[in-house]
Structure 1
Amino acid sequence: MAYVYASASFLLLTAATAVRQETPENVYYDVTTGTCNNGKYLLDNLSGTFAAARENTYYQDNEDCYWYIVVPDGYTIKVTFTTVLTLAAGDYLHVYESNGTSKLRGTLKNSHWGRPVNPINSAGRFLTFHFTSDGHERYYGFRAKYEAVDIDECRTNGGGCEYKCVNTAGSFRCECMAGFQVAQKSCIVTDPPTVVTGEVAVVYGRDALDVELTDMTQGTVLGYSGLRKAQEIRINVTLASRPALPPGHAYIPSVAVGIVDAGATFSIMRGHTEQLKANISCRIQPSPDNPMQYLNCYGSTYVIWEFMEGDVVSLTVFARNGGYVDIQPPAAHSGPLSSADRRYFQGQTVRRHVEVTFDFMKPFHCSISYNCQDKMLDVGNPIIKTANFSISWSGWADSTSGISNYTYMIFPLKTGSDGFLTEELRSNGSDIKAVVYPSDKLPVDVKLSHYGLYSVVLKVQDKAGHSTLARRCILYYDVNKHKPELVAGARVKIVRSSGGWSNGAGSEVTVDFHNVFVNRFLKDNGYLGDISSFSPAIEPGYDCKSISGVLNTNGIVKFLVAVGMYNSEAVAKLSQPTSWQVVADPSKQQYRLHVPKTAKVIRAWVKAVDLMGSEVIDRVTVKVYNSTPTISRQIVFNGRIHVEAQESVSGIHYIEWTLYILSTGSAVYGRNYSNSDGTCASPECTCRVEGGKCKFATLFLSPGGATLPDVTLRSEVTVVSNAGDAIKSQTMVRNSDLKLKTNSGVLVIGR
């Protein structure tokens, strides 16, 4: 059964709920009948009735009943009897001044027959009534009512209040004059001291960690530092205390009210162990007899300490005010006294706590420390076709002080004088820069101003001031303009082939595409080169990987080759590539392939792909032929060397003549007699052209006016076909046969 008093205060409700724990066991809490019936009853309302039997009925023989009356703190109990009618000498009503039967106060019995009974007033908040009857005679018994009576605590010594006591239902309260507030039963100055300006510092040489204090009423101030050592702990705080004490008829404020005590305590903690502890006093120290309304509390203490990761300097600045007040306190009930009374009033003590944690480690990313999947700096696709992209990050941590903020910076990159890409630092800083705090929402949306390669740098700073940098690169380009293309005048070719012919049947040939393809946007700007070191340095694992330093050739990052072997040139020209093979090393710009003996025509396609995925294709078609050219004669005739050569299928590609010193093998003269189309220059050389190819050549070789050494020479003629096959012919030559002008010099080969 719950008990709630309609007019009860919180104090009463609290006392009532505590009654259950203060009453004897086996008590019946249902007291609706209020009569005996050999029961035990708890009466805990502020008022009520109880009786030995129902009205106009007799109590029973051998009754044994208890009524426990309990009221809240601050109350006593008054019990008034309306009837006391018992018969036999063995019928009694015992009264106990306790919560139970431990303290008997008196007994009501048949001697009170029909006579009034004086009210019973308890000394405390408990009364217990115990009624017993024997088996001889019985009658109406008794009927009573009880009520809770408020105690006036202010009657005794003013309730112990320093200034004024006010009685309330079930309790009392102390009051203070304006400018003071109640603390327990005393009056203290209402307004606490305040900090005008202030700081605390941990000092080592010229290095110091300063923590500003602006309000002594705030909670703990947390600071972080990378200072390695300490030699002094210092405070410098300006305090003020001017409590509002308006004059009135009840008291006259004294000027002797202000700060009476101030200073600081500090300790150095390592883990849960206190390593060092000391007090710091103000150089100018107030006192209760010398309170100060303004105080510059400057003090320090010297220490010798070398910090470790996670050490904590815990420092508490405190100030207390108070002072003497001339006061005329009112009497408890008759108004103020006439005589003045000087009293010392305690003020309020306020504290400001500072904790400085020492952190020597930089922030780190979990992917570096324990291989997590979070992205330290995510720019999405590093190659974008529009100016807009987003930046995000996650997985950053700092084991001691925690992350303070993130700063992202975006710089355009350009090629410096050393050939490395560098951030273009403009007069107003980077193009884009912003600070993001851990509570801010990600991703961050960014818009670039122009095409190019950009460096996205993220600076992660902890609360101790340490920072770690991460860098990513992003390329912004025009999909329609910045494509790969063929270099003017350059085409894919088969090595050692000419005029559409090759001698590769049954062997390996090389598809060559040196300097055939280019992406001028990437090549001319050097966007795929290495990026120079950032300042400050970016640690390994945190730098740009996606674009800078990519293996490439003229802005091309990948080559693919497709090859077809055909029986006729007509079929080859109608064919398309069916299977592409990636060139393992794009820097070589070559691809080797085996040509079966049955192949008549080779067709090769080369696809060049740039970093953006754009591509361009070039192709080459050659006929395969294995026959070598022939040299039918090389004789001296009329002061010149007469040579005849032929290649009837692919035609002659070029003819080269070289003179060597027979004894040493040193070349002293050389000349190429072929034009770019395979024909040769007259009058020394004439060609018979068939199908656009030089099939038969006649040459009359002479060094002209060249001065050669006066030794026996070796003449060597080399004929190379368009299919790449070659033949050489050698013969000895005497100076007298060639009618040459001689001396002891040596002529370097020329063309």
Structure 2
Amino acid sequence: MGYGSNACNVNNEGYVKYKNGNVVRNSGGVCNAPFQCRNCNTGYYPVTSNNGYCKACYKPVYCNLPVCTSSSNYWCEYCVGEYIRNKPGYNVYSGLPNSKVCQRACSWENGARCFPGSCTGNMILNRDCKCARGFTSTNCATATAVPTIKIMHFKVSTQANDTHMLIVDKALGKVKFWTKYTDLANISYQITAYYKPEIEHAKTPNYIHSYYIGIAEVKVVLTLIRDSATADWTRDVSCTNFNQYCSGSLRDYLISNMHRWKTILNNGKFKHADIIRFRVSAKNGGKVMYQDRNSFNAPYQIRHYYLNGKSTYATLDLAFDEVPPTHCFENNKTCSTDALKADDFVTKPNLTVYWSGWYDVDSGIDRFEFNIYYLESINNGPLQYRNMLPATIIDTKLNSAVLKLEEPGPYSIEMKVHDRVKNAKVTRRIIMYDNASVVELVGNKSCRIIQAQPSGWVNKFSDQIEIVWTGRFSNMRHNNGGWLNAVQDSENVAKILDDQNARSIRTIEEMPNVYGIIRFEIARTQELFGTVDYKTFYRIPDDYVLLEKMVFTDLQLTDGKKVTYTIRGVDVFGEFAEDNSSFKIDLSPPVIEHVWLRKGNLINISMHDKLDLSDLIIEWETLDIHSGISEVSWTIFENLTNHNVIYGQSYEQPQGETKTLSGCRRKYRFHSGGPNCYCTPYNGCFHKHF
């Protein structure tokens, strides 16, 4: 290598770009001594190897103009896009704070804009850039936060002055609404979406000129759903300038103009199980204005970029429900739960009612309403509603309630089960309240045995014994008030849910009764020769209740037996009164024996002339060990000429005035025949010698 201006220069040794845009690829330099160069071009340095030349400095990545004194002592004097190093925000790459590297700076260039966000200090992208909350990506231009649908208000109504009008509103805190009105004709809505970014304006990078960040778009989609068919009606809400709020409204839009819905509605009404789905979507976004500083001198050109927004949506459903609540018994006859249960007969005014088995698969059960009706009978006709007590409302969480009755009498307890759109179904139970139920014995009536004599003796054989008690028992209040009469039908109550078919004791049907008595019970006591046999009360068959009698065909008629029947008349509350009737049995006649004539001390003599009658005494023994003697008479006559010639006759006392055997013997101790006494089981003791 020689001396001179080109001795150190190496063509295409490197690539150096100056701020003025000039590119220098040759190393330059001059040789001033063997193996020594000087005055190398900027970006190159002298070395002594290879006879000495100007060598390219080590060039850091993104460095336009490296500067060095040796291979290890280097720095970058001018990075790519570095217009004003000491002024952050004006450089694409920056040699601050370490001039040995060129780092990507926050700038106007795509990928390094760092806005919405802040970039402070030397504004090095990967160190000093912080995206605002709700944004991400290298540009911070992609939203992660969603807007808020602040107002989502729909109104559906009929055409006739909003006769049936329903509000579907997000502010009500539910996502599904229900209606039973299928004649809806108009739809109105009011929509507002809101979004405000969390940006610290004071920390906005200096190359950002201005920005508009808010709601980019709002869309309303109304979908009609029927079975598997769907149809959409869409309306875009006009949102301008990325304002924080974007609102839209529509007033009384005719459903008949929603052409896509016509394929489902077919010019008809809505029907049960249809759904109108209200869907509102909102997307945020923004437009950011920045200075394009790809030049060294102001004024800078203003350019813009758009933010990548994020969408959100809210959905509200309006479903149609024309079907009232259901009790399981209506669809499944094996259902054993009661639609409404209560005691049939109560003695206190507090009535506890129970229910279960109710459901509503559509809008759901809203409440249970109890209406209590006092019943009355007019002219002994069916019981009908007289007046209603104040209604009682019960929450759906409960399955029992205590209701307050007022005056004693029959009541209809109606439970009205409401769903959330005011469809309702009614069930009822008939009950009676009486705090002073009394069964009385009617004074001028009695129980009697048909086969018995007025004296209470059965003296003729019969294959049956019949006891009757016509009109003897009565519950006057129940009878006179018609409390047990049938209950008039109610058009509000479905037959299947009414109090009938033995669902309870006191149903809507008449309770068969006799003067307020619903059943009779009978007990029997038999006495024979000191032995007592008792058969406790049992219910008289229904066939005999209305006849007020009982017939027995199994009673053995034995002389000397005493039978007592005790009749019990019972009302619906179990209150009762008792009466009884007794009879004795004597089917055999009295015994007459030992008839003789006495004259003085002579007995059993014969009479030879009717004149002897004045000196004779007739004696005999008469007894009846079952019922005793009631009447004794005798007659003396002859009948030789086929017609009676009476010589004497008389009626004698039955000689039964004593109650005990000893008393009888005392009384007749001086009788000519001695105290010949006997006692009957029921009528005292008798002297049998006459």
TM-score, L = length of structure 2: 0.55
Output the CA distance in 1 between the equivalents of 2:141 and 2:286. 18
Q: Does 1:269 align with 2:226?
A: yes
Partners of 1:259 and 1:294 within 8 A in 2: no
Match of 1:580 in 2: 538
Aligned position for 2:339: 376
Distance 1:259 1:424 in 2: 66
1:215 maps to which of 167, 170, 194: 170
**Paired residues for 1:30-179 under 5 Å:** 157-159=110-112, 161-164=114-117, 174-175=131-132
Which region of structure 1 is more displaced relative to structure 2, 404-413 or 242-251? 242-251
Percent of pairs identical after alignment?
15
2:417 to 460, 470, 476: 460
User: Displacement of 1:493 after TM fit?
Assistant: 1.5
- Radius of gyration: which is bigger? 2
Q: CA deviation at 1:468?
A: 2.2
Offset of 1:486 from its aligned partner? 0.7
Answer yes or no: is the 8 Å Cα contact 1:455–1:471 preserved in 2.
yes
Counterparts in 2 of 1:650 and 1:619: CA distance versus 1, 3 Å: farther
Deviations 1:676-711 (A, max 9, x none): xxxxxxxxxxxx9999xxxxxxxxxxxxxxxxxxxx
2:559–2:587 contact (8 Å) kept in structure 1: no
Q: Secondary structure at the match of 1:434?
A: strand
For residue 598 of structure 1, what is the amino acid of its counterpart? T
Question: Secondary structure of 2:348's partner?
Answer: coil
Name the structure 2 match of 1:424: 386
Alignment map for 1:159-558 (pairs within 5 Å): 159=112, 161-164=114-117, 174-175=131-132, 185-186=141-142, 192-195=148-151, 197-200=153-156, 210-215=165-170, 220-225=175-180, 227=182, 232=185, 234-240=186-192, 261-270=218-227, 273=228, 275-281=229-235, 286=238, 288=240, 294-298=247-251, 299-302=253-256, 303=262, 304-305=265-266, 311-318=273-280, 320=282, 351-370=313-332, 371-379=334-342, 381-416=343-378, 419-426=381-388, 430-437=389-396, 440-478=397-435, 481-495=436-450, 497=452, 499=454, 500-502=456-458, 505-543=461-499, 545-548=504-507, 549-558=510-519
| CA distance in 2 between partners of 1:485 and 1:598 (Å) | 34
Letter in 2 for 1:558: R
| Cα deviations by residue, 1:434-464 (Å, 9 ceiling, x for unpaired) | 1322xx2443233434433332222223345
Tell me the alpha carbon deviations over residues 276-331 of structure 1, each in whole angstroms, 9 at most, x when there is no partner: 4131448xx63547988653223344333468987432422426476977867999
Q: Does the Cα contact within 8 Å between 1:259 and 1:319 map onto a contact in 2? A: no
Instruction: Give per-residue Cα distances to partners, 1:152-181, cap 9 Å, x unaligned.
Output: 8967745565422569999975217xxx87
Q: Which runs of 5+ in 2 are unaligned?
A: 1-71, 73-102, 257-261, 294-298, 590-627, 632-650, 655-690
8 A contact 2:284–2:311 mirrored in 1: no
CA distance in structure 2 between the partners assigned to 1:422 and 1:253 by the alignment: 82
Distance 1:407 1:689 in 2: 83
Q: SS at the partner of 1:604?
A: strand
Distance 1:219 1:464, change over 3 A: closer
TM-superposed deviation, 1:211 = 4.0
Letter in 2 for 1:373: S
- Structure 2: distance between partners of 1:534 and 1:551: 21
Distance of 1:252 and 1:459 partners within structure 2 = 69
Name the residue aligned to 1:92: none
Residues 365, 419 of structure 2: 8 Å contact kept? yes
Quote the Cα distance in structure 2 between the aligned partners of 1:619 and 1:625.
20
| CA distance, structure 1, for counterparts of residue 414 and residue 314 of structure 2 | 39
Match of 1:616 among 577, 580, 593: 577
In the alignment, the residues of structure 2 paired with residue 446 and residue 623 of structure 1 have an alpha-carbon distance, to the nearest angstrom, of: 55
Distance 1:383 1:217 in 2: 46
The answer as to whether partners of 1:577 and 1:605 remain within 8 angstroms in 2 is no
Matched residue SS, 1:238? strand
Closer, same or farther in 2 for the Cα pair 1:459/1:412, shift >3 Å?
A: same
SS in 2 for 1:521: helix
The letter for the 2-side match of 1:192 is T
CA distance in 2, matches of 1:169, 1:256: 24
Q: Cα distance, 1:514 vs. partner?
A: 1.7
Check whether the contact 2:135–2:141 (CA below 8 A) recurs between aligned residues.
Answer: no
Letter in 1 for 2:572: L
Q: Give the one of 553, 558, 566 matched to 1:605.
A: 566
| Aligned-pair CA distance for 1:618 | 0.5
How far off is 1:351 after superposition? 4.0
Aligned mates of 1:441, 1:590 — CA distance in 2 = 49
* Local SS of the residue matching 1:540: helix
Offset from partner CA, 1:41-98 (integer Å, 9 cap, x none):
xxxxxxxxxxxxxxxxxxxxxxxxxxxxxxxxxxxxxxxxxxxxxxxxxxxxxxxxxx
In structure 1, stretches of 5+ residues that fail to align are 1-115, 117-150, 332-336, 629-647, 652-687, 692-751
What residue identity is the alignment partner of 1:267? L
Partner of 1:84: none
RMSD of aligned alpha carbons: 5.1
Aligned counterparts, 1:661-676, within 5 A: none
Distance (whole Å) between structure 2 residues aligned to residue 253 and residue 525 of structure 1: 91
CA distance in structure 2 between the partners assigned to 1:231 and 1:619 by the alignment = 74
Distance between the aligned counterparts of 1:597 and 1:269, measured in 2?
Answer: 83
Aligned mates of 1:169, 1:221 — CA distance in 2: 48
Distance 1:372 1:618 in 2: 45
The match for 2:7 is none
Higher strand share: 1
Kindly tell me: are residues 310 and 237 of structure 1, through their superposed partners in 2, closer, same or farther at Cα, counting changes over 3 Å? closer
What amino acid is the match of 2:349?
A
With structure 1 as the length reference, what TM-score do the two structures score? 0.51
Q: Which amino acid aligns with 1:365?
A: H
Q: 1:405 to 1:338 in 2, by over 3 A?
A: farther
Q: Which range moves more in the overlay, 190-199 or 605-614?
A: 190-199
Give, in whole Å, the separation in 1 of the partners of 2:473 and 2:278.
Answer: 73
How far, CA to CA, are the matches of 2:126 and 2:426 in structure 1?
Answer: 69
> 3-state DSSP class of the match of 2:495?
coil
Contact 2:178–2:321 (CA under 8 A) maintained in structure 1: no
Q: Distance in 2 between matches of 1:518 and 1:423?
A: 25
The one-letter amino acid of 1:435's match is I
Q: Distance in 1 between matches of 2:365 and 2:556?
A: 67
- Pairs within 5 Å for 1:615-634: 615-624=576-585
Is the partner of 2:479 in helix, strand or coil? helix
Moved more, 242-251 or 607-616: 242-251
Match runs of 1:639-650 below 5 Å? none
* Matches of 1:231 and 1:342, distance apart in 2: 48
* Structure 1: distance between partners of 2:586 and 2:348: 52
Cα distance 1:485–1:248, how it changes in 2: closer, same or farther (>3 A)?
same
